[in-house]
Amino acid sequence: MDLAITDWRVLQLTVKDVGPFRHGQTTISFRGETPPKGVNPGDGPDEPANIFMLIAPNGIGKTTVLEAIYGMFALLNRPSEGMFSSPLFEGAVQLDLRGTWHIDGFARSVLLSMWIGSTGPLIDWKDVDLEEEARASEWAKLSLAVIAGEAQTLEESNDLGRALFREMQEALKELTDPQSHSSRLPTLLYFPADRSVIAPQGERMVIRPDHWGYQPAHQFSHDGPEWISSIDNLLAWMENIGDEGLPDLLQSVNEHLFGNGSEKRVLPPDPTHHLTFVETPTGFHPLSALSHGERSLLQMFVRVFAHMTENTILLIDEIELHLHTRWMNRMFESFKRILQSSAGLTLIFTSHDRELIHVFNHKTPEPGLTKGGFLITQELV
C-alpha cells in the first residue's frame, strides 16, 4: 500500500487519571482562537491551530500534556521512552489528529485516534457528527500497548489505524535520509525544558547520527556530551555524505539564529576536526561557546530543519528558558515565518510566563497562522 499524509493537525488530547490530572477525564482542544488574516472566523467549526500556547504555573500539568503527546508517538519507535514506558503508569490517554490520507492515489479526510490504557477510546467519535465536528469522512483507530518492550496494536484498532502503524514501522527499517519518500509520514520533535548545547567529549569520528533517518518521534534535551547525538556529529555526517540539504540548513539556521546581515554565522563543518565553528568578529568559536540563549535556539533550529518532515508536530516545553524578551520576540518571528512556509508544521509550546502572552500576540490575525491557547488552572487537578 502507498500511503502519504498531508494537512496533519492535532485536534485534541484527552487524559484520564494521569499525572496532575487525577480527578476524572480532561480534554484539551487545540483548535485555534484566531484564524489566519483574511479568513472569516464564522466559516464552520474552529480549525486546529498551527501555533498553540499552553500556559500554567509550575506543577499544574503543562509538561504532562506535552509528555502525553510525545509518549503516543514514542510508542511507535521508542517504546522504552516516555510516560507510557513506566510499569507504574496508570490512567489512559487519547490523542486525536486530522489529516488527508492519500492511499494508492485516492485522498481521504481521516480523523486518527491513538489511545493507550483503555479498552476503548476515551472519546468515541461514532457518537458525534464526524464530518461536522472533525471535518473528516473516516475514522482511523489505533489502540496501542507496550508488550515485552515493543509497541503492539490491540484488537480495538481498525484497518486504517493498522495501515498507518505498518507504514511507520516499515519506514523505520529503511536506512534513508529524512528527505526520502517517508518524508510525507508524520513525525514529532520534542524539546523538554532541560536543553542546551554541551561540548561533545571523547573521540570524534563521522558516524551515523543517533536521530538520522525517519522516526515517528524524536526527543532533544541536552545536545552532547555524547558525540553520536551531538549537532557537531550531525553536521559532520551531512557534510561527509554530501547531503545536498546542508547548505540550505546552515543558511536557514544563520538567518533565524542571528538574522540577515549579522557578523556571526555558523560555518560548514571542519572536515579535519569534525567540528562546527561559529565565525564572530572576535574569531572562531565552537558551538558550545555561544550564549545560553543562542545555544537554546541553535538546538531548536538545527533539529527542526534537519529532522522535520512534511507533517511535523513541534513540542517545546518552557519555551522562554534562557531568553530575554528581545530574544523571545526574535524567536517567535522566526517560528512564525517557518510555520507560514511549512503548511504541515504545528508548534505547541508551554510557558509559565504570563508576559509571553503579549509576545505571542495570539489575538492578532496573521497570514498563514491559526493561533490558539489554553490556560491550565488549579481547578483541573
Would 190 be classed as within a structural domain?
Answer: no
The whole-number average pLDDT for the span 135-150 is 91
Considering 35-44, 232-241, 360-369, the range whose residues carry the highest mean pLDDT is 232-241
- Other Cβ atoms less than 10 A from the Cβ of 338: the count is 18
Taking 50 as the threshold, does the pLDDT of residue 380 lie above it? no
pLDDT band at 44 (very low <50, low <70, confident <90, very high): very low
- The closest of 5, 49, 58, 7 to 28, measured between CA atoms, is 49
The whole-number average pLDDT for the span 51-65 is 86
Question: Helix, strand, or coil here: 303?
Answer: helix
Would 194 be classed as within a structural domain?
Answer: no
Taking 80 as the threshold, does the pLDDT of residue 324 lie above it? no
List b or e across 88-108, with b for residues whose CB sees 16 or more CB atoms inside 10 angstroms: ebebbbbbbbbbebebeeeee
Q: Assess whether 55 and 155 both reside in one domain.
A: yes
Would 193 be classed as within a structural domain?
Answer: no
Q: CA angle at residue 374 from 63 to 39, to 5 degrees?
A: 130
Stretch among 12-21, 198-207, 335-344 having the lowest mean pLDDT: 198-207
- Express each pLDDT in 85-112 by its tens digit: 877 788 999 999 999 999 888 999 999 9
Taking 50 as the threshold, does the pLDDT of residue 128 lie above it? yes
Instruction: Supply the range of the domain harboring residue 239.
Output: 199-215+223-308
- Other Cβ atoms less than 10 A from the Cβ of 341: the count is 10
What residues does 279 pair with on adjacent strands? 265, 284
Domain end position, chosen among 279, 308, 337: 308
pLDDT top residue among 141 and 355: 141
Q: Assess whether 79 and 127 both reside in one domain.
A: yes
Q: What is the pLDDT of residue 45?
A: 53
| Helices assigned H by DSSP within 191-259 | 231-240, 246-257
- Express each pLDDT in 250-296 by its tens digit: 999 999 999 888 899 999 999 888 899 999 999 999 998 988 888 88
| Helices assigned H by DSSP within 15-143 | 62-74, 130-134
Q: What is the pLDDT of residue 251?
A: 95
pLDDT top residue among 353 and 207: 207
pLDDT top residue among 62 and 86: 62
- pLDDT above 70 covers a percentage of the chain that reads 94
What residues does 110 pair with on adjacent strands? 99, 138
Q: What is the pLDDT of residue 182?
A: 66
Taking 50 as the threshold, does the pLDDT of residue 25 lie above it? yes
Q: What is the pLDDT of residue 378?
A: 52
Q: Assess whether 155 and 24 both reside in one domain.
A: yes
Would 191 be classed as within a structural domain?
Answer: no
Q: Assess whether 99 and 113 both reside in one domain.
A: yes
Taking 70 as the threshold, does the pLDDT of residue 43 lie above it? no
Q: Assess whether 114 and 178 both reside in one domain.
A: yes
Would 192 be classed as within a structural domain?
Answer: no
HSE-CB of 169 using CA atoms within 13 angstroms: 13
Q: Which three cell numbers stand for residue 286?
A: 565552537
Rounded Cα–Cα distance for residues 380 and 26 (Å) = 8
Contacts 24+ apart (CB under 8 A), 119-127: 119/156, 120/156, 121/94, 121/156, 122/14, 122/16, 122/25, 122/92, 122/93, 122/94, 123/12, 123/14, 123/27, 123/94, 123/96, 125/96
Taking 80 as the threshold, does the pLDDT of residue 239 lie above it? yes
Contacts 24+ apart (CB under 8 A), 31-35: 31/372, 32/370, 32/371, 32/372, 33/362, 33/363, 33/371, 33/372, 33/373, 34/362, 34/363, 34/364, 34/365, 34/369, 34/370, 34/371, 34/372, 35/365, 35/370
Taking 90 as the threshold, does the pLDDT of residue 351 lie above it? no
Q: What is the pLDDT of residue 323?
A: 78
Would 331 be classed as within a structural domain?
Answer: yes
Q: Assess whether 245 and 341 both reside in one domain.
A: no
pLDDT band at 363 (very low <50, low <70, confident <90, very high): confident
Q: Assess whether 135 and 20 both reside in one domain.
A: yes
Q: Assess whether 165 and 38 both reside in one domain.
A: yes
Q: What is the pLDDT of residue 359?
A: 76
Would 273 be classed as within a structural domain?
Answer: yes
Rounded Cα–Cα distance for residues 69 and 83 (Å) = 10
Would 49 be classed as within a structural domain?
Answer: yes
Taking 90 as the threshold, does the pLDDT of residue 233 lie above it? yes
Q: What's the length of the chain?
A: 381
pLDDT top residue among 244 and 2: 244
Radius of gyration over alpha carbons of the chain, in Å?
21
**Amino acid identity, position 89:** F
Q: Assess whether 104 and 175 both reside in one domain.
A: yes
Question: Helix, strand, or coil here: 145?
Answer: strand
Q: Assess whether 176 and 229 both reside in one domain.
A: no
Question: Helix, strand, or coil here: 253?
Answer: helix
Rounded Cα–Cα distance for residues 209 and 324 (Å) = 32
Domain end position, chosen among 308, 337, 366: 308
Total domains present in the chain: 2
- The closest of 238, 259, 258 to 249, measured between CA atoms, is 238
Stretch among 10-24, 97-111, 164-178, 298-312 having the lowest mean pLDDT: 164-178
- Structure-derived torsion over alpha carbons of residues 315, 320, 321, 325, reported in degrees to the nearest 10: 150
Domain end position, chosen among 285, 308, 331: 308
The whole-number average pLDDT for the span 187-195 is 92
Helices (H) and strands (E) in the chain, counts: 8, 17
Q: Which three cell numbers stand for residue 346?
A: 504545528
Specify the pTM: 0.92
The whole-number average pLDDT for the span 350-376 is 83
- What rounded mean pLDDT belongs to the chain? 87
Q: Assess whether 31 and 76 both reside in one domain.
A: yes
Rounded Cα–Cα distance for residues 121 and 93 (Å) = 9
Q: Assess whether 175 and 29 both reside in one domain.
A: yes
Whether residue 225 has a cis bond before it, omega within 30° of 0? yes
